[in-house]
Amino acid sequence: MKKISALDRLLLLMISLIAAYQVVAGMDGCCVAVTIYYTVAFGILLITGLLLIIFGFEILDNSTVVVAAALLPLSLSSGLIYRYIPGLYMVYLIFTVMGLVLILVTRYYIGGKIAAIALAIVHGVAGMVIFILPISLSIKGVTSSLFSFVGIGGALIGVGGLLLAFLKAGKPILPKELIYSVLPCLLLVMTIAFVVGMAAER
């Protein structure tokens, strides 16, 4: 397991601070449900940053952390759907709940590749929502063009999720050391993209 370096810690601290800013800033004019979804998403980012600083990359092997981390894309995508495509919200809510149950069951009772595949599917769908929805909204002119940055963040979260999921499945796309080396940087760029995009809609 790669030992966490001082630079990694600095990047993770920046992630935590930026996520903390977003939690405090919130979204003006949003309903309570959207505020809660976004708070959960950025709150998980904040706590993940702090836990990685304290415990190092080993924390990523912890099942509870994996399940909690899955809440990030699920929560953020739910907030986006609730706000911009309310008609699909109930369907997406069902997917979110079922996805979480699937991750929980496979992670705690089955494990191995099936758990990794379940995680990849749920992460993948949520990541696609976060990637496609903001970009299509900004292209259509429904939102500011800067809102497409949330989509870029969505692409990055998808990349990060897939890298980790395949690593856990025993078929890493990139060497393990490299994945852990780029992870803090990837998370930081993703966080900045989310916050810049959200600021455009505030």
Partner 1 sequence: MELKNSPKIITLVKTKFTLYLPLIKSLQTGLLLVTGLTGYMSARCPVMTLHTFLGLAGSLFLAISGSTVLNMVLDRDIDARMARTANRPLPSGKISVNEALFLGLTLSLAGLIWSFSLSFLYGMVVFAGLFFDVVIYTLWLKRKTAWSIIWGGISGGMPILAGRALGLGELDMIGGLLSLSILLWIPTHILTFSMHYFDDYARAGIPTFPSTYGYKNTRLIIALSSLGVAFSIALGLFFLGLSWGYLRLLAVLTVGMLGLVLGSVFRPSEKINFGLFKYASLYMLSSMSMLVLGVL
The nearest distance, CB 152 to partner 1, in angstroms, is 24
Q: How far apart are CA 76 and CA 83, in angstroms?
A: 11
Q: Which residues bind partner 1 (CB under 8 A)?
A: 20, 23-26, 35, 39, 42-43, 46-47, 50-51, 54-55, 64, 68
C-beta of 22 vs 96, nearer to partner 1: 22
Return the sign of the alpha-carbon dihedral for residues 77, 79, 82, 83: negative
C-beta of 46 vs 76, nearer to partner 1: 46
The nearest distance, CB 61 to partner 1, in angstroms, is 12
C-beta of 65 vs 157, nearer to partner 1: 65
Phi, psi (5° rounding) for residue 171?
A: -125, 70
C-beta of 50 vs 117, nearer to partner 1: 50
The HSE-up count of residue 99 (CA atoms within 13 Å, CB side) is: 26
Tokens 């706590």 label which residue?
Answer: 47
Residue 44 CA to its chain's centroid (Å): 8
The nearest distance, CB 24 to partner 1, in angstroms, is 4
The nearest distance, CB 132 to partner 1, in angstroms, is 28
- DSSP structure string for 28-44: TT--HHHHHHHHHHHHH
Cβ 42 vs Cβ 19: under 8 Å: yes
The nearest distance, CB 147 to partner 1, in angstroms, is 21
Return the sign of the alpha-carbon dihedral for residues 8, 14, 19, 24: positive
C-beta of 18 vs 163, nearer to partner 1: 18
